Amino acid sequence: MRSKLRCPKCECKQIMHVPVVRDNGFNRLMVECRTSFFGDQEYGEYEAYICRACGYAELYVKGVQGIRIEQVDGATLIDGEKEHSTPYR
Ligand SMILES: [Zn+2]
């Protein structure tokens, strides 16, 4: 939806971009909070693309390559590029 700007569920072309997703306490939803050494850019913040017709929403995490997986509670990396990486064989 982010790249094609069209809802994959209903084909609507009106997509609402929400640059910062907050909970109802106005806290930002984040996978990991970190400040870059090169400025005050943060990683792990969510942004959303929402279809105006049906409400289908996609969430993306900003700066995902900068996220330290070991710092995210319960997170693991499932690497489909590596052979034998999945327990579902
Ligand atoms: Zn839709």
Record the pTM.
Answer: 0.76
58 C-alpha to ligand 1 centroid (Å): 11
User: How many domains in the chain?
Assistant: 1
46 C-alpha to ligand 1 centroid (Å): 20
For 16-63, write each residue's pLDDT tens digit: 999 999 999 998 888 876 655 565 667 889 999 999 999 999 999 998
> Residue 48: what pLDDT?
97
| Cβ count within 10 A of residue 1 | 19
Domain around 26: 1-89
**Three-point CA angle 76, 30, 14, nearest 5°:** 110
Q: Rounded to whole angstroms, how far apart are CA atoms 54 and 51?
A: 6
18 C-alpha to ligand 1 centroid (Å): 16
State the pairing for strand pair 15-18/57-61. Answer: unpaired
Give the pLDDT band of residue 84 (cuts 50, 70, 90).
Answer: low
**Which token pair is 35?**
């400040």
